[in-house]
Amino acid sequence: MRILIKNLTFETIIGILEVERTTLQKVCVTLHLDYNYDGENFINYADICTLIEEDMIASQYKLLENALESLSQKIKNTYPHTTKIKLKILKPNILPNATVGLILHKTF
């Protein structure tokens, strides 16, 4: 089974520049999560959205790389029947002429 969460959008502190450490900025998160479903062990996508948003707001990551690695591990720990994650974090307002971000692909 695959869960898709597309464009989960919220504001958080993220980045290494001085202004990024003091000013909220918009992020957009997309997640593809594969898991073993046997008729009983479903994953509630609303709970995953909450996990991602609360973690990013609380952690105030400096690097997107750290956010991706940490979030993917927290999702796997919370939902051990996860088999694969594709996690994307975009910063749509950091550059005036582009949306930038990173993608992590991980198989467990």
- CATH classification at residue 61: 3.30.1130.10
Residue 51 has pLDDT above 90, yes or no: yes
Q: Which domain holds residue 96?
A: 2-107
pLDDT tens profile 11-45: 999 999 999 999 999 999 999 999 999 888 889 99
The pLDDT tens digits of the residues spanning 97-107 come to: 999 999 999 99
* Number of domains into which the chain is organized: 1
Residue 40: per-residue pLDDT: 84
In the structure, what pLDDT confidence band is assigned to residue 85 with cuts at 50, 70 and 90? very high
Angstrom CA distances, 74 to 5, 48, 53, 70, stand at 16, 10, 12, 6
Q: What are phi and psi of 60, to 5 degrees?
A: 45, 60
Distance CA 97, CA 71 (A): 28
What does the pLDDT read at residue 50?
98
- Residue 16 · residue 69 · CB < 8 Å: no
